[in-house]
Amino acid sequence: MLWTIAVVLFILWILGFGVFHVAGGLIHLLLVIAVIVIAVRLLTGRRPI
């Protein structure tokens, strides 16, 4: 599920550059947070429930 959220945020981030220029900053911030969460989960070795 986390991967799905990351993919959706990535698509929204790409759209944010052209279509939704106002929300681009917020989507970029959410994408960065999602990447950090994925990295932490991979480094700690936690498995999703």
Give the domain extent around 22.
2-44
Say what the pLDDT of residue 18 is. Answer: 66
Provide, rounded to the nearest whole percent, the portion of the chain with pLDDT above 70: 71
Angle of helix 2-18 versus helix 24-44 axis, rounded to 10: 150
Say what the pLDDT of residue 33 is. Answer: 86
Structural domain contains residue 49: no
Structural domain contains residue 12: yes
Structural domain contains residue 18: yes
Say what the pLDDT of residue 24 is. Answer: 63
Structural domain contains residue 27: yes
pTM: predicted TM-score of the whole model, two decimal places: 0.50
> Is there a contact between 38 and 2 (Cβ–Cβ < 8 Å)?
yes
The Cα–Cα gap between 21 and 17 comes to 5
Structural domain contains residue 25: yes
Report the amino acid identity of residue 35: V
When pLDDT is cut at 50, 70 and 90, the band that residue 22 belongs to is low
Could you tell me the two tokens for 12?
A: 């929204």
